Amino acid sequence: MNAAQGPRAAYFAFDRFPSSKGSAVHIAQMADELFTWAGGGLLGVLGGGLPRYQREGTREIVRFDAPIPNLIDRAEAYSAWVAGLLETRLETLEVCHVRDPWSALPVVTATGRRYRVVYEVNGLPSIEMAHTWPWAAPETLAKIGELERFCLARADAVVVPSRVIGDAVRGLGVPGERVRLVPNGADVRDRPRRPDDAPGEYLVYVGALQPWQGLDVLLRAFARLADLPELRLVICSSVPERRARQVRRLAERLGVAERVDWRFTLPHHEVAAWLAHAAVSVAPLTGCARNLDQGCAPLKVLESMAAGVPVVASDLPAVRELMADGEHGRLVPADRPAELARSVRILLEYPEEAAAMGRRARAHIAGGLTWAHSRAALRAVYRALTPSAALSRADR
């Protein structure tokens, strides 16, 4: 691509990028694959403190940062912003990749579009927002669901990271042949150095702190391991400290606050070091609609496996796609602190078996769940959508 010519590909996400969240890792991988394949492109994301415009070689990054407090007002303004970006690039765009309905709406409705639309569904706001916005009425969420169906019906391909989400999307009426599975991945790297301030033996939790993550279940389980005074719980939170208030209060009430170490918004490589030296990594996802009906593809599970750490995770269909019970770690019933504590205790008492699980998990990732695998699957989607010569030239 050169500047005068305009981009052939664009990626839009109603999401701050870069950030310390798992979503940012995902955006980086997917957008990088798109731009590598198309020989450059336009990335439209949320900013807020980040530069509004950046040009990195053949890649343009533009950020929306209007400080609009109301979420729907903000989403509406963002959609209009995306529409404006598209207007001047309609001639050259061949593929538009979107990550949410707010980005998808202007992309699928642009008048005279010739590009193909790839809609990546990592979650459905109509389900997920019931958890995060408790005052949203069912009718309101139904309207958002309607928007999702509207956009999904007009996308040329729908990319999902797990079969559970694929089923949810098919349930919304998307024909099966348009739904393509592109699993999330993790990179298998050399074992990083142990963090200087790491305690002797610790459990690790990595991720955000929303209610569906099950931190409360983990803390209750940890309270049941009080007879192991040396054992600590390290929580690497991807969100800032002030969002941890409620979880911290619960830890105090349960009497475990003194044994919990908090780390906030660490860069990805530091999180990898905390993961690699943990005794057990815990993914206590709850059995709520967000995790069961909508589905998820937890990066924390994949990254723990790639680090060679045994995982104790909730036994949800979406998690079962990634790991096997007894093979790569333990799957326990969701929302059961006693079961979670027992599985952790067993792994701690049989360190050799636990280490073997960690090794098998690492091999499992290396064998088919790396980002290279994901990106190859995504590239196949692009290739199938645009057999045009123009893009094939850039397709090395």
Partner 1 sequence: MDAARHDGQGGAMTPCDVTTGFFVLGRCGRPAVTGCPQCGRPVCGEHAAPQGGHCPECLAALGHGSRDPHDPSWVAGYRRRHYERTSETYNDTTWYSSFDAYDRGAFEPGSGYTYDEGDFGSDGTGFVDS
In the region spanning residues 362 to 381, those forming contacts with partner 1, defined by CB under 8 A, are none
Q: Does 72 bind partner 1 (CB under 8 A)?
A: yes
The two tokens of residue 272 are 């990898």
Residue 48 Rama label (left phi>0; alpha psi -120 to 50; beta):
left
Alpha helices in the chain (DSSP H): 22-38, 71-87, 101-109, 125-132, 138-154, 163-171, 215-223, 245-253, 268-276, 289, 299-306, 317-320, 337-349, 351-366, 371-385, 389-394
Shorter beta-carbon distance to partner 1: residue 58 or 265 = 265
Q: Does 48 bind partner 1 (CB under 8 A)?
A: yes
Select the span of 188-196, 234-242, 338-346, 382-390 touching partner 1 (CB under 8 A). 234-242
Shorter beta-carbon distance to partner 1: residue 99 or 360 = 99
- Binding residues for partner 1 restricted to 174-203, rule: CB under 8 A: 184
Q: Does 140 bind partner 1 (CB under 8 A)?
A: yes
Q: Does 17 bind partner 1 (CB under 8 A)?
A: yes
* Distance between CA atoms of residues 213 and 314, nearest Å: 10
Whole-number Cα distances in Å, 194 to 172, 201, 242, 269: 46, 12, 27, 12
Residue 335 Rama label (left phi>0; alpha psi -120 to 50; beta):
left
Q: Does 94 bind partner 1 (CB under 8 A)?
A: no
CB of 156 to partner 1, least distance (A): 17
Residue of 28, 71, 254, 266 interacting with partner 1 (CB under 8 A): 71
DSSP conformational letter for 148: H
Q: Does 257 bind partner 1 (CB under 8 A)?
A: no
- Binding residues for partner 1 restricted to 305-324, rule: CB under 8 A: none
Q: Does 67 bind partner 1 (CB under 8 A)?
A: yes
Shorter beta-carbon distance to partner 1: residue 133 or 262 = 133
- Binding residues for partner 1 restricted to 157-176, rule: CB under 8 A: 161
Residue of 259, 353, 365, 369 lying closest to 310 (CA atoms): 353
Residue showing tokens 């070091």: 273
Q: Does 216 bind partner 1 (CB under 8 A)?
A: no
* Distance between CA atoms of residues 172 and 148, nearest Å: 8
Distance of CA 101 to the CA centre of its chain: 16
Select the span of 1-9, 99-107, 350-358, 388-396 touching partner 1 (CB under 8 A). 99-107
Q: Does 79 bind partner 1 (CB under 8 A)?
A: yes
Select the span of 130-138, 194-202, 355-363, 365-373 touching partner 1 (CB under 8 A). 130-138
Give the DSSP per-residue string, 233-265. Answer: EEEEESS-GGGGHHHHHHHHHTT-GGGEEEEES
Shorter beta-carbon distance to partner 1: residue 26 or 362 = 26
Residue of 15, 60, 216, 339 interacting with partner 1 (CB under 8 A): 15
Q: Does 278 bind partner 1 (CB under 8 A)?
A: no
Residue of 70, 175, 176, 227 interacting with partner 1 (CB under 8 A): 70
Shorter beta-carbon distance to partner 1: residue 208 or 257 = 208
| Burial (CB count within 10 angstroms: exposed 0-12, middle 13-18, buried 19+), residue 150 | middle
Residue of 146, 37, 34, 39 lying closest to 97 (CA atoms): 34
Q: Which residues pair with 95 in a beta bridge?
A: 9, 116
- Binding residues for partner 1 restricted to 102-121, rule: CB under 8 A: 105-106, 109-111
